[in-house]
Structure 1
Amino acid sequence: MAAEVTILVLREPGADAALPLPEYQTAGAAGADLRADLGGAELELAPGQIKLVPTGLRVQIPEGYEMQIRPRSSLALKHGVTLPNTPGTIDSDYRGPLGVIMINLGTAPYVLQHGERIAQAVIAPVTRAAYVIAEALDDTARGAGGFGSTGRG
């Protein structure tokens, strides 16, 4: 098992303190479930609609890590509800409200319930790179081929 990282969590003013903090549903889960904090109300996502869904939380992620926000496969498969910018990244220096951008790709409206599990948070190490101008790049067998250049499937 990998070393545990501590994520400090602060509830937004007016957030529902009865909602659980992000939590793992099984011992082998990579993502901790995030919940919609809708002030006890519902939120409808019409087909094709994108909305920012509040979690009622702010987080402090240790330097050298990021929080990746990923869709829940059950929402995507059963209802066509997913995240348009997946994975979303929460940087270690961000201290604002944690929201989840959601889209309904299904054919019917989807009504989000207060407290519903809407996304997963995965904590991952970050490697920073130095970008340097070069005179040339090394040749490879693939070269500049992309977007299907290696064949179908």
Structure 2
Amino acid sequence: MDAKAISLKEKEVKPVVDLLNQYLATYHIHYQKLRGCHWNIKGQNFFTLHVKFEELYTSAQLTIDEIAERVLTLGKPPHSRFADYIKESEIEEIDTIGMSDLDMVDALLSDMAKLIELERGLLEASDEAGDDGTNDMVNRFMQFKEKNTWMLRSFAGKK
């Protein structure tokens, strides 16, 4: 399939596809960080955060699949190697072993802020390309993160 098959111009959609692959790479690193936080959480907030981190990584896994399928819908291959994820990600890997619960929350909030920043860029690029499908998808993902940012900030006692 190519972009023409869904009434989009390939040249106009190329910046969207490139951003989607960067977004996909960043999401993979975020996903693995969520898994690490879920596995390594300790302390008084264990029960609350263990469940929350599982909710977030389950959502991230579904999001990753939708992003990759959107890249394919636009006629290009999605990144599928960890080397590409690490190279193109806008966030860094971390070692969650021994991290405090609130440090984990801070790390995830930082990731979400970067992902929201990428999403805002994707919304602009997809709008310019007339790519309403990508725009709708990314907007949904951003709204989920915005809500969870508020929740995690409230949990951590941040304004």
Give the TM-score normalised by the residue count of structure 1. Answer: 0.24
Normalized per residue, the structure richer in strand is: 1
Normalized per residue, the structure richer in helix is: 2
